[in-house]
Structure 1
C-alpha cells in the first residue's frame, strides 16, 4: 500500500478545502515528462510531476520518516504540502514564535516549525487513531492534549486541566505557539 503528498507553490496560505480541491483537480490531469522542477530532484520517494505540482508517493512502512523529509524540503522551497491521507495542508506561514518547535501526533506525524493553521487543523483529528497532539520546545516546555481534552503543560513542573471543547484547546495551542500564556490563567491546573 502507498500514500501520497503533493507540493506546489501558493502565494498565500490556503485552507484544507482549497488544498483538497487542488489535489483532486491535479490528479485528474496527466503527469508531464521531461525536465522536473528542482524540488522534485530533492524529494524522497517516487516522484511524479504535473504542471506546477509534484506528487510524492511512498510506502506505508516509511510514511512517517519520508513525510517529515517532504515537509522540510517543501518548507525550504516555500511550497505548500498537502497530505490527502490526513486531509491536512502544510502552509509556509504563519509560524509560531519558537524556532525549532515541533508538532507531534499520536498517529506518527512530526513537523518542525508547523504553521499555525496546521496546528489548528491537527487538533480536530484527535481520536483513538490519533491519541495525542503535542507542541514541543525541547529542553524548555511543551503543551499536549489527548482525547477528552485533557491539556498538559510542562515548564519545569507538569500540570494538567480538563477543558470542555475543542475550540478552547485550539485557542490554548495558538496562544502557546505565539508566546501568549493566557491559557494558563483561564483554567484551573493541578
Structure 2
C-alpha cells in the first residue's frame, strides 16, 4: 500500500528540511518547519514545488519523491519533518546496521532511520498504516502489525519467529533493541517458529 492509497495527501504532500545542531523532537519540528531553509533543495528537486526548505509533492509522485527527499536530508545532514505523519527524521542516533530500511504500511521508506523516528513511526500504526518494519535485506527483519494486540515477527538466519504483544511500549522496546543490535528481546516473549 502506498501513502496515496490511504487517501491522506490526495491533494499532495509536504516535507520540510533544514539544519539543526542536534536531534529535535516533534514539538520543536512543528514550531520550526514553516521557517525551514535548505538552499540545495531546489537544485536537487528542480521539477517540484520548492520554497525555502519546504517541498510540495504532487499526489502522483509522493512515494518516489518523498523517499528521495528523506535520502537527500540524510546525505546533507539535515532534519526532515513530515507534517502529515508528524514524524521527524533526524541524523542521529542511528542503529547498529548501516543500510537498514524503515517501511510503513502507508508508503514511507527511510534508509538509515534514526532511533527516534523508529520509536515515533510505531505510534502511527492504524487502518491507514497497517504495519511498520525494519528490514536489512538479505539478513534479517522485524515487522509488526496491530490486530487487537500487536503481531510481531522477527526473521534471522532463515528462521521466522512470531509473538503477540499487548503494549505498544513493549513493541517499541523490541524494535529499538533490534535496531541497536541487541537480541535480548528474544528472551522476553513466547515465540513460535
- Structure 2 length as normaliser, TM-score? 0.88
SS at match of 2:63: helix
The one-character-per-residue Cα deviations of 1:115-153 (angstroms, maximum 9, x if unpaired) are: 000000000011110000000010011000001311100
Aligned pairs for 1:117-156 within 5 A: 117-147=116-146, 148-155=149-156, 156=158
Conservation of the 8 A alpha-carbon contact between 2:26 and 2:86: yes
> What is the aligned residue count?
178
Q: Is 2:32 aligned against 1:22?
A: yes
Aligned pairs for 1:89-104 within 5 A: 89-104=88-103
The one-character-per-residue Cα deviations of 1:79-101 (angstroms, maximum 9, x if unpaired) are: 00000011100000011110100
Runs (4+) off by over 3 Å? none
What RMSD over aligned residues (CA atoms) do the two structures have, in Å? 1.5
The one-character-per-residue Cα deviations of 1:41-65 (angstroms, maximum 9, x if unpaired) are: 113621111xxxx100101121111
- Partners of 1:21 and 1:43 in 2: how far apart? 24
- Partners of 1:89 and 1:126 in 2: how far apart? 16
- Partner of residue 7 from structure 1, selected from 17, 25, 30: 17
SS at match of 1:21: helix
- Partners of 1:18 and 1:38 in 2: how far apart? 23
Give ranges in structure 2 of 5+ residues lacking alignment. Answer: 1-10
Provide the residue aligned with 2:112 in structure 1.
113
Q: How far has the Cα of 1:40 moved from its partner? A: 3.0
SS at match of 1:71: helix
Conservation of the 8 A alpha-carbon contact between 2:41 and 2:50: no
SS at match of 2:130: coil
- Partners of 2:151 and 2:75 in 1: how far apart? 34
Q: Is 2:51 aligned against 1:48?
A: yes
Conservation of the 8 A alpha-carbon contact between 1:39 and 1:77: no
- Partners of 1:108 and 1:37 in 2: how far apart? 27
- Partners of 1:96 and 1:84 in 2: how far apart? 24
Give ranges in structure 1 of 5+ residues lacking alignment. Answer: none
- Partners of 2:40 and 2:126 in 1: how far apart? 38
Q: How far has the Cα of 1:2 moved from its partner? A: 1.8
